[in-house]
Amino acid sequence: MKIVPLFCFLGLSLMQLAIGQEKQISLEEIYDGTFSTEGLEVLRSMDNGKQYSVLNFDRSDRKSTIDLYDYDTQEKVETLVNSADFKDIPFFTSYEFSDDESKVILATEIEPIFRHSRIGIYYVYDVESKELTRISDQKIREPSLSPDGSNVAYVYENNMYILDLETSETIQLTTDGKINSVINGVTDWVYEEEFAFVKAFEWNSDGSKIAFLRFDESEVPEFSMDVIGQELYPSQHRFKYPKAGEDNAVVSLNIYDRKKRETSMADLGNPYYIPRIKWRNHPQHLSVQTLNRHQNELVLYDVNAKNMETSVLLREKDDAYVDIHDNLTFLADDSFIWTSERDGYNHIYLYDEDGELMNQITKGSWEVTNYYGYDQNEDRVYYQSTENGSINRDVYAISSGGEDKMRLTKQEGTNHADFSADFTYFINTFSNAETPPVYTLHMSREGELVKVLEDNGALKNLLKDYQLSPKEFSTININGNELNMWMVKPLDLDPDKKYPLLLFQYSGPGSQQVANRWMGTNDYWHQLLAEKGIVVACVDGRGTGLKGRDFKKVTYQELGKYEVEDQISAAKVLSELPYIDDARTGIWGWSYGGFMSTNCLLKGNDTFEMAVAVAPVTSWRFYDTIYTERYMRTPQENASGYDENSPLNYPELLQGDYLLVHGSGDDNVHVQNTMRMIEALVQANKQFDWAIYPDRNHGIYGGNTRLHLYTMMTDFMIENLLKTDNQ
């Protein structure tokens, strides 16, 4: 057994202080917001680079304002928009400027559709005239101002429209939009979920054209969910959901010419996916990314909007899959910056305007985890990376030639930057396992501190009264790999006694749970479990991220094989510790983590005595095309990869205690997964516990739901991990 300690947060004095306190964390406090952190309201840098705007909301009188602040002094300069000035808007919940900052879109009466999508009533506010214009009498989607603020494009009932704010004329760009059939200008369910965008249209730089995607989902199989609701009869929610191996929507790229009032379709050679479109600086040139169905070949095209001719800028190929990102940045001369894993790690590359590689900007056996932008005046690229260890994040600057690299953040943990428009300043968000988020203003040149904006001092003072166990970071050698791990032990742990072990994990491709950052709600819950006498640990096994391409993609076509092997092996190694009772080992997880915990309990039935699975996938045949086929190809091509790691196919292996939980309104991982698992266990005559939360989605929240769920899981773990307590 080899466990290499890295460091342990919460120093000895803090530990001793905590031991001396009697206050323990309660479930009610975790889920009523007692431990919430303070943050900065969402801010947007103004084009002058000297000021930023913030949406402020006064809860006492439900008034919204958009206020401008000075970066240097942090003083409020002016209130740009105030909902108290409007008769028709009691308050607004988000805002968006036009490129020239002459107008602002204000959002009200927002209703969610899926994870990212929503409909609402939107207004345009003219900053100079202070006039307010309602875009439509109907609830619409994704309104977007033209660069000069003279027009606004939006989607209503799957069709695209443009409102001319000067003439009040509304032009309908498409007429074939139909629910569950054809979509124009916004994405379908699977694009929204897996390619993480909703607005599928873009204005060019002079506002003369709009590029938009059209989805024909008429052949996509329809999924239905019963909505229990409060009425006498339940209703059904029907939507198109392509499961692995089934038909996807047929997607096409169109460009609308405002002057001609004509739409032209680009010939991209029948692309299977179009995950990104982005106009270049030249108003007649559009960049388009396409993917094949296997998602192992990406092509970046240039489309000439004047004659609709296309040319290839670059190709990305991988034996497994190519990840989609938002790091494409066109410079003034239309050369561009791109990130890629082509050398085995995610790094930044510079190409000329025709797609010829100029140079690789960053290099090393570490990952670029965020690209912030390029300051053309200073020739500096700003990015975030794991150069200081895969569980940490720091902010760096480097020249486009790969020289003069500078680390701009100094504290070890997780740093994230938000730069001003001219890159003079950045606001850094820092946290680690012992420090709640601290927001600081810095000069970008050397990273020097200007001012502390928020340090969550109130939360730190509050937590002094609680018993908190340190989160100990280390690495553990499992199946020939040094895996990152954290562990939380009972504060009063007696090395001569035996304690149960609970593993927490997610384990999905490219994910990370072992990270040096502040606690989330699950971390507080793990503290509560440690207070009760359970050792909680987390190991990021093979397939997780930020340790290079090969480590991440080893699970290709075998989801649930190597990840399960690593969790079982980790549990065995940890059970050799003198204070761990190898007869009381549990594991839990949510979504992919629920898939993992279920598999571990079955395949590792000689290792695990208990598992909790929340909203688990139980067969990848039930999950969507884009995510599943990226890692598994189709069931028709890889039947064994799908079935050999599906817990539906070996329910007879269940020996331990098993709790299975799902929301019946889960549009992502359908409750079908849990129902089929229930049926398999019933037919195998295996006893287990289960719960269904009516109409709750993948997050299983709302009202008292989260408290109820975690109370149930806590009771289940106490009963099944502490019931044979022989301490």
Active site residues: 591, 666, 698
- Whole-number CA gyration radius for the chain: 27
Nearest Cα neighbor of 638 from 293, 315, 318 is 293
Q: What angle do CA 203, 207, 213 make, to 5 degrees?
A: 25
Rounded Cα–Cα distance for residues 280 and 335 (Å): 9
Q: What is the DSSP string of 382-400?
A: EEEE-TT-TT-BEEEEE-T
Which H helix or E strand runs over 717?
helix 705-721
* 3-class secondary-structure state, position 680: helix
Q: What is the β-pairing status of strands 689-693 and 657-663?
A: parallel
2-25 burial code (b ≥16 CB/10 A, e <16): eeeeeebbbeeeebeebeeeeeeb
Token duo for residue 6: 């890295």
Cα separation, 672 vs 664, whole angstroms: 9
d(CA 183, CA 481): 46
Q: From CA 355, how far away is CA 129, in angstroms rounded?
A: 44
* 647 secondary structure, DSSP code: G
CA distances from 296 to 323, 340, 536, 584, 641 (A): 9, 13, 38, 43, 18
Separation of alpha carbons 606 and 604, rounded Å:
5
Residue found under tokens 């629910």: 179
- The residues with which 484 forms a beta bridge, in sequence order, are 475, 540
CA distance 157 to 86: 28
Burial of 608 (0-12, 13-18, 19+ CB in 10 A): buried
Structure tokens at 696: 């709750």
SS (H, E, C) 8-77: ECCCHHHHHHHHHCCECCCHHHHHCCCCCCCCCCCEEECCCCCEEEEEEEECCCCEEEEEEEECCCCCEE
Q: Where are the beta strands (DSSP E) in 336-490?
A: 336-340, 347-351, 357-360, 368-375, 380-385, 394-398, 406-407, 414-419, 425-432, 435-443, 449-454, 471-478, 481-488
429: nearest Cα among 72, 150, 38, 711 = 38
Q: What is the DSSP string of 203-262?
A: E-TTSSEEEEEEEE-TTSPEEEEEE--SSSS-EEEEEE--BTTSPPPEEEEEEEETTTTE
Distance between CA atoms of residues 413 and 518, nearest Å: 9
158 token code pair: 């799957």
- Locate 617 and state its tokens: 């996938």
What's the chain's length in residues? 727
Look at phi and psi of residue 373 and say left if phi exceeds 0, alpha if psi is from -120 to 50, else beta.
left
State whether the Cα torsion 225-227-228-233 is positive or negative: negative
